[in-house]
Amino acid sequence: MKTVAVHTGIPYEVSIGRGLLGRAGEWLAGLTAPRVAAMVADDTVDALYGDQVQQSLRGAGFRVSRMRFAHGEASKTLETYAAVLAFFSESQITRSDIVVALGGGVTGDLVGFAAATWLRGVRFAQIPTTLLAMVDSSVGGKTGVDLPAGKNLAGAFHQPVGVLCDPDVLSTLPGDVFADGMAEAIKYGVLCDEALFNRLAGGLRPEELETVIGRCVAIKAEICAEDERDTGRRQLLNLGHTLGHAIERCSGYGMPHGHAVAVGMVYAARIAADLGLCDAGCIARLKAALRANGLPTDADYPAQALAGAALSDKKRSGGTLTFVLPRAIGRCELRPVPVERLPDLAACALRPDV
Ligand SMILES: NC(=O)c1ccc[n+]([C@@H]2O[C@H](COP(=O)([O-])OP(=O)(O)OC[C@H]3O[C@@H](n4cnc5c(N)ncnc54)[C@H](O)[C@@H]3O)[C@@H](O)[C@H]2O)c1
Ligand SMILES: [Zn+2]
């Protein structure tokens, strides 16, 4: 088992190890006195792992109340959020109780936001079950739901009291959902760890998962601890996301997030090469690594559509968008760009590689 400490305002630990799910009760009892645990999962995850976790929590002395909601991003809404709050109310959750989010990023974001706002904030624990949630969304305290006007527009910063990752649960994950998580893992490699990138470049064996998740979490934890509220260095985690989000938007959110981020990283590398920041070899290595992990390296949207979609990025600050651009595999920098330059940059992102 591995433990990674996250030194945010209220610190916590991420525990990573095969078979930990069956010991979730013991783990949670180490974080809080066993009272009521309100456990929320989507229907798929609930059917696969709900009983096992409930049993373990009960065994450790928790009184468990349980709720499930329909899986998928379409549930990350104010309606489901209200349903989760109603469930907390029925379960009579008080500030001394604990909320448990069991599932992927949708569950963590939705349930974390409900925990952040119920009684002005109750404690919550994350048990991520997708690779994306393990390496990314369960750490760092961003919670929220989508609005008709856009993704993640309503939310709060609310750190969990602990995160439990059991890589064994990834064995039931569909291949393309696993690949989404690989895109974020490759992102950390490009950002600041060439050795991690090289390890991921040919695909990943199940026995490497624990080490790789641990390394990704350590990178995210270090960046978030330095910039918990996302005003500076944390923006580095947006590598591939500025144009990635634009691609998601252009696809009507039909393209999964990790797939769009994969393409967004290729686009960022092309822009960086055009500015003379990195060489063509960097683009080629990135594309090969993404392909080896079942991820796309291109999408079909014209420059104008991409630039238009990027304009509505919620991270835009006045007339400026900050791009994360690679200088090499393992080294990136932040580049504020005036929005008037977006059409040029989008055109450059689409230029075929030589
Ligand atoms: N808070 C953050 O910092 C942050 C960071 C990145 C992404 N996100 C958010 O995360 C969400 C995407 O997360 P996701 O990709 O985990 O999506 P998800 O939670 O919808 O999970 C994807 C699918 O996999 C299924 N699933 C989950 N675990 C499984 C398992 N072990 N076996 C079989 N099926 C399983 C789910 O039922 C779902 O259908 C987006 O809403 C995104 O905005 C948040
Ligand atoms: Zn992402």
Q: Specify the pLDDT at position 70.
A: 98
Q: Whose CA is nearest to atom 16 of ligand 1?
A: 104
Q: Whose CA is nearest to atom 22 of ligand 1?
A: 104
Q: Specify the pLDDT at position 314.
A: 67
Residues 187 and 331 in one domain: yes
For the chain, the C-alpha Rg in angstroms (whole number) is 20
Q: Specify the pLDDT at position 61.
A: 97
Q: Is the CB of 142 under 6 A from ligand 1?
A: yes
Q: Which ligand lies nearest the alpha carbon of 73?
A: 1
Query: CA-to-CA distance for 198 and 178, rounded, in angstroms?
Result: 18
Residues 121 and 183 in one domain: no
Domain end point (choices 117, 149, 172): 172
Q: Specify the pLDDT at position 53.
A: 98
pLDDT in tens, the chain (354 residues): 999 999 999 999 999 999 999 999 999 999 999 899 999 999 999 999 999 999 999 999 999 999 999 999 999 999 999 999 999 999 999 999 999 999 999 999 999 999 999 999 999 999 999 999 999 999 999 999 999 888 899 999 999 999 999 999 999 999 999 999 999 999 999 999 999 999 999 999 999 999 999 999 999 999 998 888 888 889 999 999 999 999 999 999 899 999 999 999 999 999 999 999 999 999 999 999 999 999 999 999 999 999 999 987 767 777 899 999 999 999 999 999 999 999 999 999 999 887
Q: Is the CB of 109 under 6 A from ligand 1?
A: yes
Indicate the SS3 state at residue 100.
strand
Nearest CA among 163, 187, 153, 170 for reference residue 77: 153
Residues 192 and 239 in one domain: yes
Residues 55 and 194 in one domain: no
Q: What is the number of domains present in the chain?
A: 2
Q: Which atom of ligand 1 is found nearest the CA of 184? A: 6
Q: Which atom of ligand 1 is found nearest the CA of 139? A: 3
The CATH number for 98's domain is: 3.40.50.1970
Q: Specify the pLDDT at position 111.
A: 98
Q: Whose CA is nearest to atom 41 of ligand 1?
A: 106
**Alpha carbon of 184 to ligand 1 centroid (Å):** 12
Residues 190 and 270 in one domain: yes
Domain around 302: 176-204+213-350
Residues 181 and 313 in one domain: yes
Residues 181 and 310 in one domain: yes
The CATH number for 182's domain is: 1.20.1090.10
Q: Is the CB of 42 under 6 A from ligand 1?
A: yes
Both tokens of residue 26?
């013991």
Domain end point (choices 148, 172, 196): 172
Residues 248 and 328 in one domain: yes
Residues 130 and 245 in one domain: no
Q: Which atom of ligand 1 is found nearest the CA of 44? A: 37
On the 0-12 / 13-18 / 19+ scale of CB atoms within 10 A, 53 is buried
Using CA atoms, how far residue 346 sits from 49, 139, 338, in Å, is: 43, 31, 13
Residues 199 and 263 in one domain: yes
Q: Which ligand lies nearest the alpha carbon of 104?
A: 1
Residues 217 and 332 in one domain: yes
Q: How many residues are present in the chain?
A: 354
Residues 341 and 279 in one domain: yes
Q: Is the CB of 260 under 6 A from ligand 1?
A: no
